[in-house]
């Protein structure tokens, strides 16, 4: 368990003062996967991030303020998955208007990026080399996303919500097994990049379990943002330092690693904008399910799969239901690969139409479809059961190393926020003297030019993502919110959690803890061992090929968080009980609070 100190804050416009330590005023926070109570709730992968959000809520902030504060804290305590150098997708339910909004904070490709930028001598660059390079770095979106969310819906300033993260970075936190494991995954490349080695490998070695990890450089960077606002990141000296690290990666001269320079410029940073987008929406079993529109494929693919499943007669047989889940996932991934990306005229309305869903659903029979499923034709003309036409598209690799947080406040506002720098450790480059890693998000593009691929690199384009922050309304009011890391498995994890909760009658904690399987139009369905043990023989008899999910981390899919509104003002916050070391769920006023 991480037991870290977090200074409390008195949050008054224009004024930030310390208050007594948390332990002096109330029970100490403990890491737990489920919490239930009133007044607001949060679920993240990390205790510090969760209690940051709860303290913001207790001091009058709303869900947006708390979400930004928690994500900034995750940039300290989970630096290999969440940082200033990345981006994400932000889903917000506004209780005042009853509307769901989204902010696209996805990274953008430099103006100099071309379709063949990941090609050399007629062949794609080896993926690992593309990751650890300047070529993989897109203009980060996180800070502009924070700015837009706070300006549109927040009650506090960026200066105020950054203070808890500054304190955690300055005072440090206790190194646990998960932090060491994520460092170890990156050991070889971190050793070759001078500022990364200096920050994360003290004395050239892995950090010691139980030691204190401090990041004064990140604290300084956050203080500059607090004082100067987002322009301190996207303009001036910090922007120049970011660009220099991308274009001249600070590799140890003694290293033989080929770390290619990137294309990012100060003009690319100066021109970055976070974008308000309309959410996707589908109806499912009387619920309204909201998600992210392109360039995320989360909302469209989750929504299409739900539509396909709801087009079939209900079944009480668990194996049949899981068979349909896998087949609906297979079909929706085929359509995702063919039609969804940061391109004009994505046929989103048709992909989410009931007519297209019925046409796709009619392909689901008693046995698994031959691999691969080919894309359908979302052309507005549906009837009969035509075979899907066209050719299958390859599955673009997306790293599973992301994080998700979910927040609700006492007014009923809800945030589902997925944040990433792509791989564990992003592109491996810490901006010298700044304390944060850069992203490798541009490796989410397809590397090989193709006339039919909607996910090719290009100037200013945002790579397709699978991030799927999701908010579900019942009778126009929040019912639950959920999301997860996991690269291209994000979509199936969110989909499976929804099915567990809505169709299988599980509680939200049970729905998150249940064993998972992911079918992404691949030859094998990858699954956790517990899923294979429980359902493998029956699904194999239906023609499915199951294999243990290779990770990383091996054998485990996702690390979800969620919130459910259970009635009469009560809220339940839920995080993973064991995956990736387990998460942290907190509420403002627990049911057993004696205060």
* Residue 530 structural domain: 26-275+397-590
> How far apart are alpha carbons 416 and 418 in whole angstroms?
7
Hey, how many other C-beta atoms are within 10 angstroms of the C-beta on 139? 31
How many degrees, rounded to 5, is the angle at CA 428 between CA 426 and CA 433?
A: 110
Please tell me the distance from the alpha carbon of residue 222 to that of residue 471, in angstroms, as a whole number: 30
Residue 387 maps to a domain: no
Of 118, 140, 106, the closest CA to residue 262 belongs to: 118
Per-residue pLDDT band for 26 (boundaries 50, 70, 90) equals low
Is there a domain that residue 284 lies in? no
| DSSP of 462-515 | ---B----EEEEETTEEEEEEE---GGGHHHHHHHHHHHHHTS---HHHHHHS-
Q: Rounded mean pLDDT of 212-239?
A: 96
pLDDT at 402: 83
**pLDDT tens readout for residues 431-474:** 999 999 999 999 999 999 988 899 999 999 999 999 999 999 99
Task: Based on the residue annotation, tell me whether 402 is a catalytic residue of this protein.
Answer: yes
Q: Which pLDDT tens digit goes with each residue over 46-55?
A: 999 999 999 9
Question: Under a CB-based contact definition with an 8 Å cutoff, are residues 562 and 583 in contact?
Answer: no
No. of helices (H) and no. of strands (E), the chain: 20, 22
DSSP state, residue 149: H
Tell me, what CATH number does 225's domain have? 3.60.20.40
pLDDT of residue 23: 35
Is the per-residue pLDDT at 206 higher than 50?
A: yes
Q: Is residue 583 in a domain? A: yes
DSSP string over 284-303 = ETTEEEEEPPTTBSHHHHHH
Q: How many domains would you assign to the chain?
A: 1
Q: Is residue 368 part of a domain?
A: no
Structure-token pair, residue 406: 């979910």
Q: What token pair was written down for 40?
A: 């607001």
Q: Under DSSP, is residue 442 helix (H, G, I), strand (E, B) or coil?
A: helix
pLDDT of residue 392: 56
Mean residue pLDDT across the chain = 92
Q: Which of 21-25, 79-83, 225-229, 447-451 has the highest mean pLDDT?
A: 225-229
Look up residue 559 and give its two tokens: 């690390």
For 137, the enclosing helix (H) or strand (E) is: none
- Residue range 356-390, pLDDT digits in tens: 999 999 999 999 999 999 999 999 999 878 765 44
pLDDT value for 387: 65
Rounded to an integer, what distance in angstroms lies between the CA atom of residue 570 and that of residue 591?
A: 9
pLDDT of residue 398: 57
- For residue 217, being part of any structural domain is answered with yes
Structural domain contains residue 566: yes
Give CA 172 to chain center in angstroms.
25
Backbone phi, psi, residue 179, to 5°: -60, -40
pTM over 0.75: yes
Answer whether residue 201 is part of any domain: yes
Q: What is the pLDDT of residues 288-331, one digit of tens each?
A: 999 999 999 999 999 999 999 999 999 999 999 999 999 999 99
Tell me if residue 90 falls in helix, strand or coil.
strand
Q: What whole-number distance in Å separates Cα of residue 486 and Cα of residue 269? A: 27
pLDDT score recorded for residue 396:
55
Q: Indicate the range of 2-16, 81-95, 220-234, 472-486 predicted with least confidence.
A: 2-16
Of 73, 108, 396, 402, which one is the catalytic site residue? 402
Has residue 33 been placed in a domain?
Answer: yes
Q: What is the DSSP string of 15-70?
A: EEEEE--HHHHSPPP---SEEEEEEEEEEES-HHHHHHHHHHHHTT--HHHHHHHH
The token pair that represents 520 in the structure block: 């992404």
């Amino acid at each position: 368990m991480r037991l870290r100190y977090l200074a409390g804050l008195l949050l008054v416009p224009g004024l930030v003062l310390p208050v007594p330590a948390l332990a002096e005023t109330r029970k100490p926070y403990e890491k737990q996967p489920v919490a239930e109570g009133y007044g607001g709730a949060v679920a993240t992968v990390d205790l510090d991030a969760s209690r940051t959000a709860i303290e913001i809520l207790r001091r009058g902030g709303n869900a947006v303020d708390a979400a930004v504060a928690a994500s900034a804290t995750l940039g300290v305590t989970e630096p290999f998955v969440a940082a200033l150098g990345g981006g994400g997708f932000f889903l917000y339910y506004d209780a005042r208007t009853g509307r769901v909004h989204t902010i696209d904070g996805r990274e953008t490709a430099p103006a100099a990026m071309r379709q063949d930028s990941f090609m050399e001598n007629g062949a794609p660059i080896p993926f690992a080399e593309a990751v650890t390079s300047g070529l993989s770095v897109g203009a980060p979106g996180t800070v502009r996303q924070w700015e837009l969310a706070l300006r549109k819906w927040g009650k506090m300033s960026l200066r105020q919500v950054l203070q808890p993260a500054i304190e955690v970075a300055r005072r440090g936190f206790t190194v646990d097994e998960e932090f060491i494991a994520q460092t170890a995954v990156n050991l070889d490349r971190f050793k070759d990049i001078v500022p990364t080695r200096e920050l994360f490998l003290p004395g050239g070695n892995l950090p010691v379990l139980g030691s204190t990890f401090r990041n004064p450089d990140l604290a300084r960077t956050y203080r500059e943002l607090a004082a100067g606002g987002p322009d301190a990141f996207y303009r001036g000296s910090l922007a120049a330092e970011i660009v220099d690290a991308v274009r001249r990666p600070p590799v140890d001269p003694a290293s033989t690693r080929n770390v290619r320079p990137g294309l990012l410029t100060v003009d690319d940073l100066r021109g970055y904008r976070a974008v308000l987008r309309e959410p996707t929406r589908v109806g499912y079993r009387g619920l309204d399910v909201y998600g992210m529109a392109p360039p995320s494929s989360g909302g469209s693919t989750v929504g299409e799969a739900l539509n396909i499943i709801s087009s079939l007669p209900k079944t009480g047989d668990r194996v049949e239901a899981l068979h349909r889940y896998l087949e609906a996932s297979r079909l929706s991934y085929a359509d995702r690969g063919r039609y969804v990306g940061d391109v004009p005229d994505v046929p989103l309305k048709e992909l989410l139409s009931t007519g297209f869903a019925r046409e796709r659903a009619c392909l689901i029979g008693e046995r698994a479809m031959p691999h691969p499923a080919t894309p359908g034709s979302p052309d507005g003309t549906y009837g009969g059961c035509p075979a899907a036409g066209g050719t299958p598209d390859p599955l673009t690799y997306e790293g599973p190393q992301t994080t998700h947080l979910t927040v609700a406040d006492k007014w009923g506002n809800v945030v589902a926020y997925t944040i990433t720098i792509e791989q564990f450790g992003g592109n491996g480059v810490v901006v010298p003297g700044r304390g944060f890693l850069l992203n490798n998000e541009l490796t989410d593009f397809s590397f090989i030019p193709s006339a039919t691929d909607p996910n090719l690199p290009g100037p200013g384009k945002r790579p397709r993502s699978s991030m799927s922050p999701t908010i579900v309304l019942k009778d126009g009011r929040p019912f639950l919110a959920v999301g997860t890391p996991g690269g291209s498995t994000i979509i199936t994890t969110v989909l499976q959690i929804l099915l567990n909760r809505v169709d299988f009658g599980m509680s939200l904690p049970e729905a998150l803890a249940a064993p998972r399987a992911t079918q992404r139009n691949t030859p094998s369905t990858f699954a956790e061992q517990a899923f294979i043990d429980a359902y493998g023989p029956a699904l194999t008899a239906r023609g499915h090929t199951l294999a243990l999910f290779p990770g990383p981390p091996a054998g485990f899919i996702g690390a979800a968080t969620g919130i459910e509104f259970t009635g009469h003002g009560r809220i339940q916050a839920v995080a993973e009980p064991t995956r990736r070391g387990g998460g942290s769920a907190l509420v403002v006023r627990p049911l057993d609070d004696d205060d």
